[in-house]
Amino acid sequence: MYSWYVVNTYSGHENKVKANLEHRRQSMSQEERIHQIVVPTEQVVETKDGELSLIHISEPTRPY
């Protein structure tokens, strides 16, 4: 059985926190205990001058 945890971060620092957690997982030899680190994201589409454009930067989704 797996457990999952939520880590609160400052806005815009999600990927830095993910990279730090992955580095710590490797340096502490915890790959078997920590299987995956995920930052849920979604693509954002904006309308500008009547045209749809896809923003390549994804924003973290809020699970609540």
Q: What is the arithmetic mean of pLDDT over 25-46? A: 87
pLDDT of 60 reads 62
**Other CB atoms within 10 Å distance of the CB of residue 34:** 14
* Percentage of residues in the chain having pLDDT higher than 70: 80
Per-domain residue ranges of the chain: 14-60
C-alpha span between 6 and 14 (Å, rounded):
12
